Amino acid sequence: MNKNSSNIMALTANTSNKRETVCIFGTGDFGRALGHKLIQSGYPVVYGSRSTQISNLIPKDAEVLGHAEAAQKAAIIIIAIQRQHYNFLTPLAEVLRGKVLVDISNNLKLNQYPESNAEYLAQLLPGSKVVKGFNTVSAWALQSGTLDASRQVFVCGDDMEAKQMVMNIVRALGLTPLDKGSLLAAQEIENYPLQLFPMWKFPILLSFGLTAFFFFYCLALDVIYTYIYENNNFSFFIAITIPNRVCPVMALILLALVYLPGIFAAIIQLYRGTKYRRFPDWLDKWMLCRKQLGLIALAFASLHVVFTLVTPLRAFVRWRSSKGVIAQALNNKTEPLNNTDAWLSDSYLALGILGYFLFVLLGITSLPSVSNNVNWREFRFVQSKLGYLALILCTAHTLVYGGKWFLSPSAYKWYLPNIYILSLIVPCAVLVVKFVLIFPCVDKPLTQIRQGWERNPKYSE
């Protein structure tokens, strides 16, 4: 058995408290931060560097040697160097034979090279055991100890023993290793830190697009139309009135869009008579970003609440109500309380409050810390049953608010429907189809399909 493999055996078989030396190539930001953390966790650390001069930045208990000398002291070598410098490792191939090399590198762009950095390292040093890991952890988080959000460390590699050794180090640092399989997974792991909110892209773009559309729609009907035909300058509506129309409309539509893909999925499964055929890609992607759509909807609903609460403070609102009071005083006539209007206004407020309460509850249960503490049935109860209830309450809130006013011809400026009428299309469609889907004659076959029954089984016994 050569010296290197004996080092590896020593590390895996070691059951005493003493930890084996870890070598880090590169004394840059990441190398230093990881070295600090390793030393804190009881690992002796030796750096392999182009300069053996000790600087203040290097952890004080670490040794700094030339690359070859440092590599001989450890079975695991962490390569804290950018990929473009990997060529310098080729002359060290013999020293590194049999050693575990941990590739922690990241790229500047997605799929920057044809192969992953870890596979490239394995090609350069075929005698070494390359493991990918640590690249999703930042030097700053390691140093400042703010690792809570990124405790998970993806690890992959072709050599099980080597991978296990790296995972042991990850655990010793207080992090959680996640085995992603062979080195083929390295490209995906390297792309991971470069992704910019992948699940949020579609919901954010959709929200921007719809918000802009509804904003200009309101601007045309509430400001431009009144300026042209009624000679009123309501340009200040841009600040609060229009946002307070757009926000509830967006909240309602986005909440309905959370449940619409489930409706499509049910219809597709009923039509195909099986659940064993993949949904179209667009539906898969839509299903995956339902949580994000729901959270954006909650943000719009919260803005609507705030805009509504400040309504009494607005000069326009105070002017309008004092105008009404003065008109009554001049006419010497107090208008009687309209009981129907009082009922409608109290009902729509109550529906809105209850709908918003459930909305917040949905948002809270979608947080990982909460959803991890409820079982699947409880999660489904909140997200599906209470979610639909929230959609019903919010739709009713809009319907009651509009009431008979939706039917009045003055609500159709330029023959265009009021924004609230538009906002009801998707939620009402979702609720009507959902109502049909819960009928026993539809629900029963759908439940059977979801339990694995097939109308035309492909593989019959």
By CB under 6 A, name the one of 3, 50, 277, 450 that touches ligand NAP.
50
81 near ligand NAP (CB under 6 A): yes
CB of 169 to ligand NAP, least distance (A): 15
Nearer to ligand NAP, 67 or 397 (CB): 67
CB of 74 to ligand NAP, least distance (A): 16
Name which of residues 23 to 42 contact ligand NAP (CB under 6 A). Answer: 26-31
Name which of residues 126 to 155 contact ligand NAP (CB under 6 A). Answer: 135, 138-139
70 near ligand NAP (CB under 6 A): no
Helices and strands in the chain, H and E counts: 20, 8
By CB under 6 A, name the one of 3, 85, 385, 450 that touches ligand NAP.
85
Buried-state track 260-280, b at ≥16 Cβ within 10 A, e below 16: bbbbbbbeebeeeebbeeebe
Name which of residues 236 to 265 contact ligand NAP (CB under 6 A). Answer: none
Nearer to ligand NAP, 55 or 322 (CB): 55
Residue nearest to ligand NAP as judged by C-beta position: 28
Contact 132, 157 (CB under 8 A): yes
Contact 420, 251 (CB under 8 A): no
Alpha-carbon gap, residue 345 to 401, rounded angstroms: 7
Tokens, residue 287? 């299903």
DSSP 3-state assignment of 431? Answer: helix
Cα separation values, 157 from 23, 166, 167, Å:
19, 10, 11
Nearer to ligand NAP, 105 or 383 (CB): 105
Q: Of 108, 292, 107, which Cα lies nearest the Cα of 197?
A: 292
Measured in whole angstroms, the distance separating CA 236 from the mean position of its chain's CA atoms is: 36
Q: Where are the alpha helices (DSSP H) in 219-314?
A: 225-230, 241-272, 281-288, 290-309
Nearer to ligand NAP, 58 or 391 (CB): 58
Q: Show the binding pattern over residues 89-128: x = contacts ligand NAP (CB under 6 A), - = does not.
A: ---------------xxx----------------------
Check the CA dihedral 94-100-106-107 and report its sign.
positive
Tokens, residue 159? 């050599």
CB of 157 to ligand NAP, least distance (A): 17
CB of 112 to ligand NAP, least distance (A): 11
| Site stretch for ligand NAP (CB under 6 A), options 79-87, 146-154, 363-371, 389-397 | 79-87
At 207, which amino acid appears? Answer: S
Cα separation values, 334 from 218, 325, 339, Å:
34, 9, 15
Residue 100 CB neighbours (<10 A): 28
Name which of residues 152 to 181 contact ligand NAP (CB under 6 A). Answer: none
63 near ligand NAP (CB under 6 A): no
By CB under 6 A, name the one of 82, 112, 168, 371 that touches ligand NAP.
82
Please give the residue ranges that form the binding site for ligand NAP (CB under 6 A).
Answer: 26-31, 49-51, 80-82, 85, 88, 104-106, 135, 138-139
